[in-house]
């Protein structure tokens, strides 16, 4: 409906704005979908991996055989706050960060426990 001056009545204005609003909302749908896919395929697995690595580091204790980041294999002989002292061979000791522990070797089975195997 139009008035004598040719302006739109309020009911026609709302009808005209409605398709523009739908277009604006629909333009954000692909962005939201991309974020959801990114979350489930990138962010969530990385957080799970990080948590399992933290659990692995916390579970390492004195006497455990470990592999540290440089590929060195040894036994933890002493724990400090954020460091461990690893014995690589008789009378060969290395101080390393606990975060450098990549995996723990199970003494009874010889299996290597890494964060990749835990789910």
pLDDT by position in tens, the chain (length 119): 555 555 555 555 444 455 677 788 888 899 999 999 999 999 999 999 999 999 999 989 999 999 999 899 999 999 998 999 999 999 999 999 999 999 999 776 667 777 765 44
Q: Is residue 98 part of a domain?
A: yes
Same domain? 92 vs 80: yes
Which of 14, 44, 59 terminates a domain? The answer is 59
Domain of residue 109, residue span: 61-114
The runs of H, that is alpha helices, within the chain are: 10-38, 44-59
Distance CA 115, CA 102 (A): 8
Burial 95-110 (b: 16+ CB within 10 A, else e): ebebebbbbbbeeeee
Total length of the chain: 119
In a domain, 119, yes or no: no
From 13, 28, 59, the end of a domain falls on 59
> Does 71 map to a domain?
yes
Q: Is residue 72 located within the same domain as residue 87?
A: yes
pTM: 0.63
Residue 40 lies in a domain: yes
One domain for residues 52 and 70: no
Q: Give the model's pLDDT for residue 92.
A: 96
Q: Are residues 45 and 83 in the same domain?
A: no
Number of domains in the chain: 2
Structural domain includes residue 108:
yes
Rounded distance between C-alpha atoms, residue 35 and residue 113, angstroms: 33
Residue 2 lies in a domain: yes
Q: What is the CATH number of the domain that holds 79?
A: 2.30.30
Residue 118: closest CA among 103, 108, 107? 103
């Amino acid at each position: 409906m139009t008035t004598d001056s040719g302006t739109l009545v309020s009911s026609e204005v709302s009808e005209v704005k409605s398709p523009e609003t739908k277009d604006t909302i629909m333009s954000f749908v692909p962005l939201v979908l991309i974020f959801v896919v990114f979350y489930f395929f990138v962010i969530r697995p990385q957080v799970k991996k990080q948590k399992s690595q933290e659990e692995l580091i916390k579970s390492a204790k004195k006497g455990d055989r470990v592999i540290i980041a440089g590929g060195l294999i040894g036994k933890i002989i002493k724990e400090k706050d954020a460091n461990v002292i690893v014995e690589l061979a008789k009378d060969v000791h290395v101080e390393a960060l606990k975060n450098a522990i990549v995996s723990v070797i199970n003494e009874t089975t010889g299996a290597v426990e890494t964060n990749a195997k835990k789910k």
